[in-house]
Amino acid sequence: MAGIDKRLLRSIYEAFASRNARRMRKLNDKVLNSLIISGEKEAISLAIITYALSKILSKRKFGDKKYNKHMDHIEQILLKMSENGEVSIGVGEVKKELVEMESKDPRYIFSLITKSKVKMAATLYAKGMSLSSVVKLFGIAKEEVLSYAGKTMMFDRVKEEVPVKKRVEEILSFVGVE
């Protein structure tokens, strides 16, 4: 497997460095789309982290001074990851920072990482990936995915109906048959 594109990693770093939640969400969509094709473990971890970071960036409270050290450290981790391409190490370090940040504000029943896993799994399920595949990829229970997808309007938002002819053309193009 080719691994994660360093340009994508650089974009993730830049989105976080500029504290741009919207851009981080768009990058999360890119990671999810590549995950559908590749199924790479690194892409799974990166999808979870980019979603979690987009949530952090969108919440005002994480702009408080008490979180500056964590935010700066995450930024440095993302920079290093974009330079060396070591996604699994970087993702692990970002997760540790997120856990520390959350420990300062224990209002949440589910950790941000757990919520991110469920959200990413449900999104891929809504996009057409099988339930058993997303459960296996993310290591979560079927019930969690179904419950989350059922409580949201996810299936209504992901209604990208593509004609069968177009799907076949895309598959043939992907495998190199014209």
What is the per-residue pLDDT for 77?
A: 96
Q: Which residue has the higher pLDDT, 43 or 81?
A: 81
Amino acid present at 85: G
Predicted TM-score (pTM) of the model is 0.76
Q: Is the pLDDT of residue 95 over 60?
A: yes
On the 0-12 / 13-18 / 19+ scale of CB atoms within 10 A, 30 is middle
Mean pLDDT of the chain: 84
pLDDT tens by residue, 26-74: 999 898 888 777 777 888 889 999 999 999 999 888 888 889 999 999 9
Is the distance from CB of 47 to CB of 35 less than 8 angstroms? yes
What is the per-residue pLDDT for 127?
A: 81
Token code pair at residue 72: 């700066």
* SS3 per residue for 91-159: HHHHHHHHHHHHHCCCCCCCCHHHHHHHHHHHHHHHCCCCHHHHHHHHCCCHHHHHHHHHHCCHHHHCC
Report the b/e string of 68-94 with b at 16+ CB within 10 A. Answer: eebbebbeebbbbbbeeebbeebbebb
Confidence class of residue 162 from pLDDT cuts 50, 70 and 90?
A: low
Token code pair at residue 104: 């300062």
Residue-level length of the chain: 178
